[in-house]
Amino acid sequence: MFGKKMEQMAETLKNMKGMKEQMAAIQKRIALIRVTASAGAGMVDVTASGEGNITNIKINKSMFDGDDMKMLEDLILSATNEAINKAKEAQAHEMKSITGGFDPNELSKLFGGGAS
């Protein structure tokens, strides 16, 4: 009776160790991902890491009239938000590769957590 449960527990622990190693590898791959989003027909380019950190902002001076600061600010916001969304999508894609298509956010929702 206890022998079978002990075997199951040992197997579960073994699987957890493998998952932990896979998660570490996924996290390394995510950290290396770079996504870029543009706004204003290339006036502003924003690059984000797979972790969602902004790593670069490039403003094409030749396409920008320095008198319209509000437009530049809006373009930066737009490109930044798009880059962050792309980073989230890339991260979700990588995570699904380890979970076999299961979205961990769905489990969180079942227990009353919000979507991230």
pLDDT tens for each residue of 34-67: 999 999 989 999 999 999 999 999 998 876 676 7
Considering the domain boundaries, does residue 24 fall inside one?
A: no
- State the Cα–Cα distance between residues 73 and 103, nearest whole angstrom: 35
Residue range(s) defining the domain that contains residue 65: 34-91
Using 50, 70 and 90 to split pLDDT, how confident is the model at 111?
low
Give residue 116's pLDDT: 47
Residue 91 has pLDDT above 50, yes or no: yes
Considering the domain boundaries, does residue 67 fall inside one?
A: yes
- State the Cα–Cα distance between residues 26 and 112, nearest whole angstrom: 26
Higher pLDDT, residue 66 or 33: 33
- State the Cα–Cα distance between residues 39 and 56, nearest whole angstrom: 14
Q: Is 50 exposed, middle or buried (0-12, 13-18, 19+ CB in 10 A)?
A: buried
Using 50, 70 and 90 to split pLDDT, how confident is the model at 82?
very high
Rounded to two decimals, the pTM is 0.67
Residue 39: CATH number of its domain: 3.30.1310.10
